[in-house]
Amino acid sequence: MNTLGIVLSRPAHDGAGSLAPLPRKSNLRNQNSLIRQAVFFGAPSCQVSATLWSLAPQIDSFILYLATERGLSDAYQLSVRRTLETLADWAQQRDLPGWQDLGIDHLREFLSQQKSRGLEASSLRIAVVHLKIFFRFLVSRNLLGEDPAEPLLSPRTGSSLPGTLQVSQVARILDSIDPSKPLGRRDLAILELFYASGLRLAEICSARLESLDLEDGFLRVTGKGNKTRIVPVGGQALAALKSYLDNERPELVKPHTSSEIFLSVRGGPLGPDRVRKIVKERARQAGLTGNIYPHLLRHSFATHLLQNGADLRVIQELLGHADIATTQIYTHVDDQRLKKVHRQFHPRA
């Protein structure tokens, strides 16, 4: 209990003070609400310092900006908040009472400490982005005279290529689903749509009936940053959707059911965790080993399009990537395939 009578939980750090993993998706909204009530975290039995309270309002303003003006997800907001509150805690320990007291050397020392405590290069890159956009925000709002994060450089990471399934593996999963069994039509429609349209997990869960055009074979989805795009639905996916909507979804509808396409047995929309389990279970039933997850089908969608001659700009639009550089990673995946074929068949490879 602090001086204001608010019970505060511990920060999203591990025991050593490093950035901790994000909470599960299902708890994000509750935790974001709690964070807004308890502006900064402290130990349950300690007083909240003046330093933390002086730094917290700017963090709250920035998170509000990300939510209302940028339309970024709860998960991203919590990720940013975690980084900034870890920095604020670090600043308190060094008697730095305000954001204006932090310079580039302080930020480098902070990131170096996080690295020494086991934060991976990929996570450090994300933290650098958080710091850059936060301090840029403070300067733009005249809350800070200079941007101490401007000279920060992101640490290099090793090239990480997305995993993909072979066409035969995807077919094996889809062909193993029996539509005549309970929830078979629903699960088949989900996996067909993942692979046919390259959708993100959140886009599958939020897809609504009014956004689906069965006649022309298109689906309107809202992706990252609340950006809307139109994606084509392939013939087999369309057939699976029609079968599910005609024969199975009506049985799942309850008085409280809304217009999400994919429903649980209780009549509510399927959540991300349940869809992940559906993908894993169906892959396991098809005899596939390893980690099979929804985004793997999205990667496979893009890779198979590229391998069959699709233009990279078209793939970018289908995936909803804001930057072509994000889509270009699939050219590296295809390069790897070409090298493998060359090594396998060329006599002097």
Active site residue: 82, 200, 282, 299, which one? 200
State yes or no: is 229 an active-site residue.
no
State yes or no: is 200 an active-site residue.
yes
Picking from 200, 224, 230, 198, the residue whose alpha carbon sits closest to that of residue 212 is: 230
Active site residue: 172, 224, 276, 280, which one? 224
DSSP string, 203-262: HHHH-BGGGEETTTTEEEEE-GGG-EEEEE--HHHHHHHHHHHHHTHHHH--TT--SBSS
Residues 6+ apart with CB under 8 A from 47: 2, 3
Structure token pair of residue 330: 């699939």
Active site residue: 76, 195, 244, 330, which one? 330
Active site residue: 82, 249, 298, 304, which one? 298
> What letter would DSSP give residue 2?
-
Picking from 49, 51, 56, the residue whose alpha carbon sits closest to that of residue 4 is: 49
Backbone φ and ψ of 118, nearest 5°: 105, 5
State yes or no: is 224 an active-site residue.
yes
User: First vs last Cα of the chain: how many Å apart?
Assistant: 69
State yes or no: is 295 an active-site residue.
yes
Active site residue: 115, 220, 229, 295, which one? 295
Active site residues: 200, 224, 295, 298, 321, 330
